[in-house]
């Protein structure tokens, strides 16, 4: 909860990636709040009030995951909606060319995004493709799997694109960027 709040303010892409990881952690603990409280909430070493708020946050996520029937796989609807909003922002940036640097940054990864579309035809949009690619890369790194130099370079380029997009999105939300 604490990390999520901070990431939401600072970088929308990191926030989404963090919540993907939280979903997987909740699944690893089989949506069992007792385990989540013992293994996750206790690690925050927070005061009683903060610990209760953190536990409530996890509990709400568990309830949402159960209601949305994503106990095994998939992502929470609010994350799907958020990704769609960020993608709409991306499309508007491309359409209006309001930020020339952004347009150039995206053009450097457009070929990669098209390759990802071919590999993941179920993805709904460009932003989802980029976030899914980065998350898959992070999972491979955590599993200490072999990753090619080409893949690493591709992920760096996608990360740069999403970082620029996240900054502009943050500016847009705060009123510092307008179309």
**Is 170 a residue whose pLDDT tops 90?**
yes
Q: Could you tell me which of 64, 66, 44, 65 has the C-alpha nearest to residue 55?
A: 44
Residue with tokens 């303010």, as numbered in its chain: 9
C-alpha 4/C-alpha 167 separation (Å) is 17
CB under 8 Å to 62, separation ≥6 — which residues?
26, 31, 33, 36
Average pLDDT for 119-140: 96
Contact 178, 153 (CB under 8 A): no
Phi-psi region of 97 (alpha: psi -120 to 50; beta: other; left: phi over 0): left
Which pTM does this prediction carry? 0.94
How much is the pLDDT for 89? 98
Q: What is the pLDDT of residue 1?
A: 81
Find, among 171, 76, 90, 178, the residue nearest to 126 by Cα. 90
Proportion of the chain above pLDDT 90, given as a percent = 97
Inter-CA distances, 75 with 61, 93, 129, 144, Å: 11, 26, 14, 24
Closest CA to 32 of 61, 3, 52, 73: 61
For the chain, the domains span 2-67, 77-173
**80-118: pLDDT as tens digits:** 999 999 999 999 999 999 999 999 999 999 999 999 999
């Amino acid at each position: 909860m604490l990390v999520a709040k901070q990431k939401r303010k600072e970088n929308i892409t990191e926030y989404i990636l963090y919540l993907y990881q939280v979903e997987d952690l909740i699944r690893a603990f089989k949506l069992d709040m007792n385990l989540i409280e013992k293994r996750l909430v206790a690690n925050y070493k927070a005061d009683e009030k903060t610990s209760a708020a953190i536990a409530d946050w996890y509990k709400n996520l568990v309830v949402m995951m159960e209601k949305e029937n994503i106990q095994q796989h998939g992502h929470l609807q609010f994350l799907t909606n958020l990704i769609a909003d960020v993608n709409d922002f991306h499309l508007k940036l491309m359409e209006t060319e309001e930020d020339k640097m952004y347009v150039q940054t995206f053009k450097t990864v457009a070929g990669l995004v098209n390759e990802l579309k071919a590999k993941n035809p179920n993805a709904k949009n460009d932003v989802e493709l980029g976030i899914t690619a980065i998350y898959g890369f992070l999972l491979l790194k955590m599993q200490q799997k072999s990753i090619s130099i080409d893949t690493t370079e591709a992920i760096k380029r996608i990360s740069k694109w999403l970082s620029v997009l996240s900054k502009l999105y943050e500016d847009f939300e705060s009123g510092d960027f307008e179309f």
